Structure 1
């Protein structure tokens, strides 16, 4: 069995998000700056359908039944995508770009975050889908959800942690442990904490329980760096994803690498061979057997650099079969 496949019919522009189905380990959505969401069957290596938008799509997520998905981006609209019929439904809109979205199976609601400094909750089945709007002090960059806990990463290195059953105010307000802009966020599979990453090649491992004993376990480390001709190069960490079974996590960076980390023992388990340009998005599938890797130039070095790209650096989506390298040492089951 080959270690990885490259998907046919990739997007034409930068990849913003890759999201596997919550039910089918072979169904994948890819959102792109080419104003599309593409739906793939990775086992057959075929694009099942494509949803065209009017501007770059920054965020995509699935409904729990996996027959529908949701998308948002620069055009500010929140859309529902019917995967079988290929129909698009307009649910509503923010007043600025939609940057992040998650679906809560606990409350059966879509949650969207935006540069308009709000988080909004939607019920796609309701006649008025927008259910509530919550103002925030800064633009939302990323959100992730573990059970009923929503972690929101904002501009100015701010973090809010909410219980989505009571959105009147955040349970906790934090400042990032990292000195530079937040570039990625992912919640642990067990809901105990989250990892966050910055443009300056660092990852912080955080815990939600506010007790001093638990907070003393948080830490940060350097990664996605390399020394070339005696010069240290530091790259943004663009995406994080926790393994659904083992609670280890993957990170991807503008250095073109993906690493697997065991945050409990503070060790890197594996670094995969380097890809030929930046990796803006990664995601594990629902059974933890595959990792989707979106490879594309992501404008760290401006548009002049983009014009120089060779055909080998055009956007691509790889799906890697993962094995024991994602398993913590001495794993015996939870």
Structure 2
């Protein structure tokens, strides 16, 4: 089977949706171990999210420049929506599907009308989008890029004066104009507090508070790139995957280096918001 690019787990933890470089979308029943093919794209499937309360409809984003919706009960494609460019990242929360594409465009879908974007905006960042992640408090999303920066952006135009961006995942003396810059590969919002994590090619992760614009806690480098992250339902555990992300090309790949999933027990003081 081809390397998986996208995956999403239902809220009950029983079904996993996966897509990969073989262009195929699959569903896995984690209780029985059985799998079935849900459908296909014309190019690699980059990202998947379940987008309804019953966890029966999933959206898939592909390098073929489409977002497709699938009915998991009937194995039928519901519709296909053309996007401006290759889909690189996608996230869903409480009716808002946020799609980041290769041309730095961010398309916002309201699930009351999922067949066309409600708005399409530009990323505040200058370089290619690596990840988009929706606030778990609603109303907006974060964007991470290959330039070692993150932007906080609000979905409604009336709230856009609250947008801002900041640097992260860089090596160099404080205040120095010269530093080594790493891609921001993953952003995950805490399900209870609304704070968030960033993780990158440098192999480290950091917790942040967007409302007070503060860093909460940084953690040491883990010896390999962090490819993706997630909090559990209560926010007590932070999971992250160590896997080479090819940011240095094939020359940076170390033969025999293992892909590893790590679990970090979150301290309340590390993820709880602070006063402004």
Q: Normalised by the size of structure 2, how large is the TM-score?
A: 0.94
Deviations 1:156-184 (A, max 9, x none): 10111011221342111111100000011
2:166 to 209, 212, 221: 221
C-alpha separation in 1, matches of 2:49 and 2:243: 23
Return the offset for 1:64.
3.0
Is the 2:212–2:275 contact (alpha carbons within 8 Å) kept by the matching residues of 1? no
Deviations 1:110-155 (A, max 9, x none): 11111111111111111x4211111112111111111111110001
Return the offset for 1:272.
1.1
SS at match of 1:61: strand
Is the 2:136–2:190 contact (alpha carbons within 8 Å) kept by the matching residues of 1? yes
- State how 1:1-334 maps to structure 2 within 5 Å: 54-106=1-53, 108-126=56-74, 128-211=75-158, 214-227=159-172, 231-306=178-253, 309=254, 313-323=257-267, 324-329=269-274
Relative contact order, CA 8 A, sep 6+: which one is greater?
A: 1
C-alpha separation in 2, matches of 1:91 and 1:296: 27
Can you give the 5+ residue segments of structure 2 that lack an aligned partner in the other structure? Answer: none
Poorly superposed stretches of 4+, deviation over 4 Å: none
SS at match of 1:137: coil
Cα pair distance change 1:139/1:310, threshold 3 Å: closer
Can you give the 5+ residue segments of structure 1 that lack an aligned partner in the other structure? Answer: 1-53
Is the 1:64–1:105 contact (alpha carbons within 8 Å) kept by the matching residues of 2? no
Q: Which residue number corresponds to residue 6 of structure 1?
A: none
